[in-house]
Structure 1
Amino acid sequence: MKNDIHHIGLQVIEKDLQPFYIEILGCIPLRTFNLSKEEAFSIFNIKKDVEVIYCKCNDIELELFVVNNIKIPTFNHICFHTDNATELINKAKMAGFRLHIREKKDKTKTYFVCDSNYNLFEIKTIKQ
């Protein structure tokens, strides 16, 4: 059996859509739909109508559930490799998003950037 990740669903705050997901991560919105509170309750046990934006960030597909409630921070995170980590991190820093750089003894760097709703992204540079 072969398993692949199709998409990742995240709860996001509306104010982060443009600056974080589109401008920093480079997501391209593909479609938007509304999930009724009845269906949201059946699937997620959350009784609330929600707007969902399905987008693609290069080869990563995200399903963004726009709910303007702040989540409690967790250890959940998404890690991806990119060939433009420095540019991505500079954009995040300029936009004021939380950022941490972890440098290893071999001088390689791993970047952590977080949106306003504590969705954490671990960014690694693709080794050439």
Structure 2
Amino acid sequence: MNRKLLFAVGVLGLLSACVAPQTMYDWGQYEQTLFVHYHEPALKKEALADYIAFVEQGGRPDHPLAPGLYAEAGTFLLEEGDLSGAMRFYQMEYDAWPESRPMLGTLIENLEARIDE
């Protein structure tokens, strides 16, 4: 009987180790996108398109997007020269995370000035 109990506990331990931990926020494929963005130039456009589509979905009320993901999408678009797209995502970050308003407010003002030139 002791062996059966030990075996059952071992199997449960192995199975629980296979379950990914649930985080407070939805990160999607953020880490993979960053890796591709900086290390796989041939795949960059496709990875960024997938990332932008993911961020536009906006997560769920019980599992929102992680702080900074909207702003990161905006920065990716800014690097591509899409000022209005960048501003849209910066505004989404500004609206979603009040803590980011001082920095994002400045970014948005600077982009508005660049667009108006």
Place the TM-score, normalised by the shorter chain, in its bin: under 0.3
User: Which structure: greater helix fraction?
Assistant: 2
TM-score, scaled relative to structure 1: 0.24
